[in-house]
C-alpha cells in the first residue's frame, strides 16, 4: 500500500537516523508497504456484515501485522488507576514498540486533536506514572483520496485535516511525530449501489 508522510519536529529524520529507532521504523513502513489490494478485498469480504468502507479491512490487516511483529496492542499510557480501566480505550495507544507509539486514526475529525495528543501524553513528564515512554509518535490515517475511493464516512479526519492541526497545536505537541497518509488502492474502489432497496458497498475492480 502506498502512503505519504508529513514529518513534525523532525520526526522522520529522527526515526531514519537514530540507530535505536530506525529498525523499528523500517518494520513499520514494511507493514504498510506489504499490504496488497487483494489482501484488503479478502479482509473486506470476510466481514460478516457488509461495511460501507474498507477501513475495517485495513484496520484488521494492520492489527494482525503489528501484533505478529511483536508490537504491544492497546498499550496503556499510564500505570495508575483510573487510567488503566480496561473498559475504555481513551487512555491507551493503538500500538507501541521501543519508544515509538502508533495511533491508527480512521475516526471522526473531531477526535484529531486527541489522536495527536495521546502520544505526547506518553512522552512527556506529567503527574501520573506512565506505562510507556514514547520518544516519537506516528499517526496512520487516510488521505482524502483514500477516504473518497475507499467508501469512508465523510466525517472522518483525513491526512490533510491532520496537517491543518499541527501548527495551532505546536506548543502542545512537544514530541517528534510522523503523520502517515494511506493512499487508495490501485486496482479497485468502493462504490455504493442500491441493492434490494438498500445502499450497499460494492467493490469496483479496474
C-alpha 55/C-alpha 17 separation (Å) is 32
- Angle, to 10 degrees, between the axis of helix 159-166 and the axis of helix 112-121? 60
Q: Taking a C-beta distance cutoff of 8 angstroms, is the pair 22, 173 a contact? A: no
Residue listed under C-alpha cell 504491544: 72
Q: Say if residue 87's pLDDT is above 70.
A: no
Q: Could you give the residue ranges of the DSSP H alpha helices within the chain?
A: 11-17, 19-33, 37-45, 55-68, 112-121, 144-149, 159-166
Q: Each residue of 138-191: pLDDT tens digit?
A: 999 999 999 999 999 999 999 999 999 999 999 999 999 999 999 999 999 999
C-alpha 141/C-alpha 138 separation (Å) is 10
Quote the pLDDT of residue 203.
Answer: 92
Q: What is the pTM of this model?
A: 0.91
Helix (H, G, I), strand (E, B) or coil at 99: coil
Q: Which of the four pLDDT bands, split at 50, 70 and 90, describes residue 22?
A: very high
Q: Taking a C-beta distance cutoff of 8 angstroms, is the pair 100, 24 a contact? A: yes
Q: Which of the four pLDDT bands, split at 50, 70 and 90, describes residue 39?
A: very high
Q: Say if residue 131's pLDDT is above 70.
A: no
Residue listed under C-alpha cell 501548527: 167
C-alpha 158/C-alpha 182 separation (Å) is 9
Quote the pLDDT of residue 121.
Answer: 87
Quote the pLDDT of residue 132.
Answer: 63
C-alpha 177/C-alpha 12 separation (Å) is 7
Residue listed under C-alpha cell 460501507: 52
Handedness of CA 64, 70, 75, 77 (dihedral sign): negative
Instruction: Report the pLDDT averaged over residues 44-48.
Output: 89
Lowest mean pLDDT among 25-39, 44-58, 171-185: 44-58
C-alpha 165/C-alpha 112 separation (Å) is 8
Domains, the chain, in order of start with CATH, read 3-205 (3.40.91.20)
Instruction: Report the pLDDT averaged over residues 99-124.
Output: 92
Amino acid at each position: 500500500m502506498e502512503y505519504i508522510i508529513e514529518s513534525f519536529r523532525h520526526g522522520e529524520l529522527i526515526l531514519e537516523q537514530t540507530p535505536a529507532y530506525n529498525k523499528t521504523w523500517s518494520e513499520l513502513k514494511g507493514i504498510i508497504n506489504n499490504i496488497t489490494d487483494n489482501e484488503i478485498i479478502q479482509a473486506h469480504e470476510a466481514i460478516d456484515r457488509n461495511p460501507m468502507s474498507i477501513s475495517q479491512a485495513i484496520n484488521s490487516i494492520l492489527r494482525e501485522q503489528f501484533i505478529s511483529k511483536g508490537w504491544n496492542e492497546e498499550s496503556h499510557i499510564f500505570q495508575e488507576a483510573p487510567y488503566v480501566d480496561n473498559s475504555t480505550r481513551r487512555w491507551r495507544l493503538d500500538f507501541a514498540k521501543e519508544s515509538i507509539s502508533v495511533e491508527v486514526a480512521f475516526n471522526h475529525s473531531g477526535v484529531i486533536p486527541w489522536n495527536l495528543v495521546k502520544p505526547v501524553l506518553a512522552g512527556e513528564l506529567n503527574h501520573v506514572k506512565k506505562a510507556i515512554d514514547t520518544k516519537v509518535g506516528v499517526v496512520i490515517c487516510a488521505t482524502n483520496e483514500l477516504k473518497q475511493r475507499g467508501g469512508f464516512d465523510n466525517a472522518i479526519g483525513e491526512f490533510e485535516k491532520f496537517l491543518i492541526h499541527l501548527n495551532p497545536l505546536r506548543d502542545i505537541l512537544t514530541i517528534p511525530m510522523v503523520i502517515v497518509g494511506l493512499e487508495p488502492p490501485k486496482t479497485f474502489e468502493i462504490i455504493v449501489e442500491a441493492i434490494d432497496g438498500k445502499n450497499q458497498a460494492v467493490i469496483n475492480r479496474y
